Chains A and B, each alone.
Chain A
Amino acid sequence: MSKVHVVTNVNGEPREMLCEPQQSLLEVLRDELGMTGTKEGCATGDCGACSVMLNGRLVCSCLTLGVEAEGADITTIEGIAEGSQLHPVQRKFLEHAALQCGICTPGFIVATKALLDRNPNPDETTIRYWLAGNLCRCTGYDKIIRAVQDAATELAHEA
């Protein structure tokens, strides 16, 4: 099978890569670009550990083909912090102890940022339903929800 040349933009930087037609965006990010912050938990779109932004939309990168990245803007967990400054969502996850093992955390942070970008003041129910596509087996979600609420409050004050 011949590989496909793909030109894309990851976290604001132009990237070129050769992908096999069947490779998922998740595999391409991890195996071709070495960006292992995006995690695989299921490869069937059920767990959200591989969440990335594709042209401003939250997607499971395991359900997206690498070749679909052609000409796209992709944001991964590696692009959430601004330089050496953690994004408020990242900081609040730390302050609230909203992670235990940390494998689901990149997906939750990308998904939370996507939520707060479109809805700066979500109520608890909205947060719980928005994050229902991200599985966490360690925390029982309580501290994650509180971290998201606190991040929303802080971002609202900054705005």
Chain B
Amino acid sequence: MAEARDYRAIGTRPVRPDGVDKVTGRANFGADMTLPNMIHGKVLRSPHAHARIKSIDASRALQLPGVYAVISGADFPSGAEGEISGEGGGTVSDLAKNIMARDKALYHGHAVAAVAAKTAFLAESALELIDVDYEVLPPVLDVDTAMADGAPLVDEHQRTGGGQGDAPSNIAAITKFERGDPEAGFAAADVVVEGAYRVPTAHQGYIEPHACTATLDEEGRATVWCCTQGHFDVRSMTAGVLGKSVGEIKVIPSEIGGGFGGKTVIYLEPLAVKLSELTGRPVKMVMSREEVFRATGPTSASHCRVKVGAKRDGTITAATAWLAYEAGAFPGAPVGPGCMSVFAPYDLDNFRIEGFDVLVNKPKAAAYRAPGAPQSLHAMESTIDELARKLGMDPIDLRLANCADEGTHAPYGPTFPPIGIKKCLEAAKAHPNYTTPKAEGTGRGIAAGFWFNIGMQSSAEVRLSEDGTVTVMEGSPDIGGSRASMCLMAAETLGVPYNIVRAHVGDTESTGFCNVTGGSRTTFATGLAVVQACEDIIAECKQRAAMTWDIDADQVDWTDGEAVPKPGVNIDVAPLSLADIAGNAGRTGGPILGRASLNAQGAGASFSVNFADVTVDRETGKVDVLNFTAIQDAGTAIHPAYVEGQMQGGAVQGLGWALNEEYVYDNNGVMENAGFLDYRIPVASDMPMIDTQIIEVPNPSHPYGVRGVGETPIVAPLAVTSNAVSDALGFRISDLPLSPPSVLAAIDAHDEA
């Protein structure tokens, strides 16, 4: 199973099935829904980063003609129970309080009330007429302050998980991993390197703001249209917050304009349903860009300390990592996966990892592409780069001397099955962009990346039309071309041309349960369901052919999209194609459909190696990326163009985080750059072409060897940039972003010293 083989459909680059709708403007995204009689909802947000809500008076707003309803925390059931999926988990109760503040506003932009009115403009005007009486409290705005004794408490009821006593604390949880004897390892080292690294809060930066439209009928059944990475999770989370059963809620996913993890959680849907319930009308809610920045999940800012010891020959003898991540206002920073990633590319005998999940008065962190890994691996890969410098070794050789491989006992527990880190390092070393010496005056940086990848639950149904064309129905929102990958895997399995297969994303009532599109699971897990559903079709087709030929089904083979008698079966018949069998289905037992539902296990880890050349303008501090090379193990690339697209897009997101992106807060916890002008994501003129090389070490747990690729690409670029800038300057700047002001300040400080 899953060794490299020749495929007919897999590995080709056809146009995606939903493509034409997306280049003509016909595709419907979250904000494109309109219903008869629809009204509009808007959210009032806290002007304070930390404040007790003493009272909310909506009477003036409700007097405004055209205002239909105002809701606040008191309109929602208290004591919601259960846990939600997502990085670091979390409870429905916290989710509910994040969607609408109860007794305290916990960050600037936290929802405190919502209005439904005839127009969005009117709803916005009504917000100004809601009177909220706040008792302003001191905010806690970074991990170091939050972890210090005597810090103001974000949540007076928070205790530290992991048995750290019973005093309230901003530290929600501590994670530890340890192996061997790190102290002895450091004692045996010839060289020890250590450093502290800060990575700022960044936003996923999807171009489509959150949007939804909801209606509630007279029987209390809700229908929600929204842009999401997982409509089944929207259903369960909305039900949890509203105290409804999932059976009372139908969620219809629109096309989704980017998510990167940020649309695995919900913000608006329960508010829209509640407003619809109160007004008897469909309610549409669309966030502004400013709201997206202030109130939706950014990623965790982090403070990481890493120490690595090695022998003269480069053998690492010990490593330690101390990682503190901002969770935002509720527990659940992705520090667990940060800890599990930090040493993942390496084979280490002695290490200690400690991670801290820390509450601060900022929006609750949401998943962002390989959640937790970019921060911790930025620290580790920067430290490895420093170690290579100290040892006078090529940074690839140093990594090759220590890299994990099949059989390595991963730092987070298990033994690695076949993995691709070594092949990625060897490919980097042989790559023409690496063998070409860097130009005079430039700096080169290299780093490794990693993500576990996940499986989880997926369903798929494959239906044959009477002319043999194929419909695939599944429940994973298509965020980057996954319909094309599903069609390719179905075409490959059935042995039919790609262009007779169409994949569709069904709503919660027209297809079986699927977890979110995230964690690089869709091509792996939903793909597995599609392959199994196609195998179901093949089994049925063989049965129908056997019946037609009056032989046993086990005497029939399925070859190149046709049923044929097995070799040695003595019968003179023409092969039956999928179209022949489908056309005859009515006579042979009725319509043919295949289905599969599964909880996919055995997702394969995806490693990467990236490198780049940069220049640093010493007058302005501006860093220019001259070239960037991304090498990654995809297992098998089903649609190589979309695999490259994930690698290129993730690389540029990582470069943006490294070079410019950060939440800038004032002392009161107010974000000062809540717009695309001041929160500057990369634009076309900032970037070079992103060269890609796909490595294929097939995942033994998938029939076509898929690992999943979407998460890993964002991880390495942070340290690549730090390492390249350090190489160019001749000294290290540990903290991100390497924006012109901070680089210039570092150059000035270095020149003075």
Contacts and interface: CB of A to CB of B under 8 A. Distances in A.
Q: Do chains A and B touch in the complex (CB under 8 A)?
A: yes
A97 B23 contact: no
Contacts of B24: 37, 77-78, 80-81, 86, 90
Contact of B645 (A95, A105, A143): A143
B480 interface: yes
A39 B208 contact: yes
A127 B687 CA distance: 12
B648 interface: yes
Given A95-B15, A99-B22, A44 B675 contact: yes
A100 B208 contact: no
A20 interface: yes
Contact of A40 (B209, B260, B642): B209
A124 B544 CA distance: 56
9 contacts: A36-B29, A95-B15, A100-B646, A102-B29, A104-B257, A106-B23, A142-B648, A142-B689, A143-B644
Interface of A: 20, 22, 30-31, 34-44, 46-47, 49, 76-78, 80-81, 86, 90, 93-97, 99-106, 109, 125, 127-129, 131-145
Interface in B289-343: 289
B479 A44 contact: no
Contacts of B639: 97
B750 interface: no
B684 A127 contact: yes
Counting chain B CB atoms within 10 Å of each CB, the highest count among A129, A137, A144 belongs to A137
Contacts of A35: 25
A5 B419 CA distance: 65
- Tell me what chain A mostly uses at the interface: helix, strand, loop, or mixed: loop
B689 A145 contact: yes
Contact of A144 (B13, B479, B653, B684): B684
Contact of B22 (A41, A95, A102): A102
B401 interface: no
- Tell me what chain B mostly uses at the interface: helix, strand, loop, or mixed: loop
B689 A103 contact: no
Contacts of B681: 135, 137
Given A81-B24, A95-B15, A101 B648 contact: no
Interface of B: 13, 15-16, 18-20, 22-29, 31-32, 34, 121, 204-209, 255-260, 286, 288-289, 479-481, 639, 641-642, 644-646, 648-653, 675-677, 681-687, 689-690
A128 B652 CA distance: 14
B684 A97 contact: no
Contacts of B652: 139-141
Contacts of A41: 207-209, 257, 289, 676
B288 A143 contact: no
Given A40-B31, A140-B651, A94 B20 contact: yes
B25 A78 contact: yes
B648 A143 contact: yes
A75 B613 CA distance: 41
Contacts of B641: 96-97, 143
User: What are the 9 closest A-B residue pairs judged by CB atoms, nearest first?
Assistant: A37-B25, A103-B257, A140-B652, A102-B22, A77-B25, A140-B648, A46-B676, A100-B480, A97-B641
B289 A42 contact: yes
A31 B208 CA distance: 17
Given A81-B24, A131-B684, A103 B677 contact: no
A80 B260 CA distance: 30
Given A41-B207, A133-B683, 13 more contacts: A46-B675, A47-B207, A101-B259, A103-B255, A105-B22, A106-B23, A131-B684, A131-B685, A135-B681, A140-B648, A141-B684, A142-B648, A142-B689
A129 B648 contact: no
A90 B15 CA distance: 12
Contact of A97 (B13, B286, B650): B13
Given A46-B675, A78-B25, A140-B648, A97 B31 contact: no
Given A132-B684, A137-B649, A143-B648, A38 B209 contact: no
Contacts of A140: 645, 648-653, 682, 687, 690
B15 to A, nearest CB: 5
A44 B653 CA distance: 22
A124 to B, nearest CB: 8
A97 B16 contact: yes
A133 B676 CA distance: 11
Nearest to A100: B480
B321 to A, nearest CB: 29
Nearest to A37: B25
Contact of A86 (B23, B256, B646): B23
Contacts of B480: 100-101, 138
